[in-house]
Amino acid sequence: MEKNYAYYQQQAAQLDFETRALIDGRFVNAISAEEFDTINPATGKRLAGIARCGALEVDDAVGAARRVFERGDWSRASPKHRKKVLLRFADLVEANLETLALMESLDSGKPIRDALSADLPDMIESLRWHAEAADKLYDQVAPTAPDIVAMIVREPIGVVGAVLPWNFPIYLAGWKIGPALASGNSIVIKPAEQTTLTALVLGRLALEAGVPEGVLNIVPGYGETVGQALGRHRDIDCISFTGSGEVGRLFLKYSAESNMKRVVLECGGKSPALVLADAHDLAAVAQQVALGALFCQGENCSAGSRLIVHRSRKDELLEQVKRAFDEWRVGDPLDPSTRVGAMIEPQHMRRVLGYIDGGKAQGARLVYGGHQVRQDSGGSFVEPTIFDDVRPSMTIAREEIFGPVLSVLTFDELAEGVAIANDTSYGLASSVYTGSLDAAHSVAKAIRAGTVSVNCFSEGDTGVPFGGYKESGFGGREKSLQAHDQYTETKTVWIQLGRGAA
């Protein structure tokens, strides 16, 4: 059967959902037997009732994670064994790619085409990449005096709490599970309450692949209960969090008020796309600008939400960007021709529409879109939107909107453009478009952001670090070998020769 809209609708209608927590290798209901609803953002309809866990289930999951860690079934397994199991896990995710993509699209509102072509393949790559690293990351021996051997060894940090957002639920689960498990830790995952379904399938597949019981636990529930209990738990060694800066700060507080656990935060952005006067091929630039602004409905921490363009090229580029935006059709996420799906929930849609109203009120010029659409669907849809004549002081140029809204600002001198790009409390990603190698390098050095992409919008791949400067990030990087630093402790073993037993 052709894999068209009708096919995906039919497949989606046949899905079964796992809705229970995974603790110590068993799927269990919440102790209270309570559930919370997970809703399809594209229809407003309930998909399933999910186990509503709380601090008691967090205790059980952390206890199980700690026991297996101390027993060593996984933490002291040979790296080769961990690699083999994680590669099998990746294969199983791949074998279930379409089912997981459908579930992800239903639960998060993201277009099925993105779930199939980006979220799932990238998640699988993350598992494989870190699995392969497991038996290739060597420890070190320091240069010392001849009667000393000083070894610098990495050890798993212990029990990791992974707190996930709703914008890339399975993909970001992969960012955390891959390196955390490859380096021998146990993990307790708290999915965002809006998007729990795919994480629970991952739990089943991990067990099937041979990840020992208790090594990977999933505790669904709300942030104030499950999230906070993880953050304050004295037997968790590291929290890896992705989400808002506001909640990121809470995790720092939880850590300070409990056991000083390591906290790694990945917290959003207001990323610039800086287009210099000598940029080539504005039609191609416009395609990248649209991708940066609209991918995942703009619900993307690294979204290129500020277009900062040299005044001499503004009018021409703006026309091209509008044309590029025309290609981003809003529609039912299950329709493979849809490129802009549903906002995660009605309150978030209202927040995005509030920013649009605020932009108009502050004097920015709405030149494209600007409205809620597809009301009849029952879902939360906002059309791609462009504001021109935005000043750096306006709220839409400063705050993370997390929706398909692009602000256009102009500059005359390059230094001014760079200053506007850096005039933000965030520093996650950025793009620069130029025909000059010199300018590309100078701007890349001057921009204070974790990623600078030149003549494209990109976060790179699994092999390169991802994370933010300033309030976009704290404590480390995701992806690449640097991700393993989050989840490992460094131990120095200092051996004095000639004083021990013969």
Ligand X SMILES: NC(=O)C1=CN([C@@H]2O[C@H](COP(=O)(O)OP(=O)(O)OC[C@H]3O[C@@H](n4cnc5c(N)ncnc54)[C@H](O)[C@@H]3O)[C@@H](O)[C@H]2O)C=CC1
Tell me the CA distances in angstroms from 91 to 85, 94, 120, 122, 175, one per residue in order.
Answer: 10, 5, 12, 13, 16
Stretch that binds ligand BAL, among 59-67, 138-146, 201-209, 296-304 (CB under 6 A): 296-304
Is 167 or 287 the residue whose CB approaches ligand BAL more closely? 167
CA distance 431 to 461: 16
Q: Report how far residue 50's alpha carbon sits from residue 48's, in angstroms, rounded to the nearest whole number.
A: 6
DSSP for 81-134 reads HHHHHHHHHHHHHHHTHHHHHHHHHHHH---HHHIIIIIHHHHHHHHHHHHHHH
Q: Which is nearer to ligand X, 120 or 192 (CB)?
A: 192
What residues line the site for ligand X (CB under 6 A)? 163-167, 190, 192-193, 222-224, 227-228, 231, 242-244, 247, 250, 267-268, 301, 348, 400, 402
CA distance 293 to 278: 22
With CB under 5 to 8 Å by kind, the binding choice for 193 among ligand BAL, ligand X, none is ligand X
CB of 114 or CB of 335, closer to ligand BAL:
114
232-to-176, 257, 262, 285, 461 alpha-carbon distances in Å: 19, 7, 12, 46, 33
Q: Output 56 or 142, the one with its CB closest to ligand X.
A: 56
Which one, 30 or 127, has the nearer CB to ligand BAL?
Answer: 127
List C-alpha distances in Å: 319 to 233, 286, 312, 328, 495.
53, 9, 13, 15, 68
Instruction: Decide if 320 contacts 286 (C-beta within 8 A).
Output: yes
Least distance from ligand BAL to the Cβ atom of residue 351, Å: 17
Tell me the C-alpha distance between 218 and 216, whole Å: 7
Tell me if 194 contacts ligand BAL by CB under 6 A.
Answer: no
Which listed residue (18, 57, 125, 266) is catalytic?
Answer: 266
Contact string 111-150 vs ligand BAL (x = CB under 6 A): ----------------------------------------
Residue 266 designated active-site: yes
Smallest distance, Å, CB 297 to ligand X? 11
Length of the chain as a residue count = 502
Minimum distance from CB of 270 to ligand BAL (Å)? 13
The entry of ligand X, ligand BAL, none near residue 380 (CB within 5 to 8 angstroms by kind) is: none
- Provide the minimum distance between the beta carbon of 435 and ligand BAL in the complex, in angstroms, as a whole number: 27
Kindly list the distances between the CA atom of residue 9 and the CA atoms of 3, 79, 110, 353, 379, in Å, as whole numbers in the listed order: 10, 42, 14, 29, 16
Q: How far is the CB of 230 from ligand X (least distance, A)?
A: 7
First-residue to last-residue Cα distance in the chain? 74
302 binds ligand BAL (CB under 6 A): yes
By the criterion CB under 6 A, which residues form the site for ligand BAL?
167-168, 172, 242, 266, 300-302, 459
- Residues marked as catalytic: 266
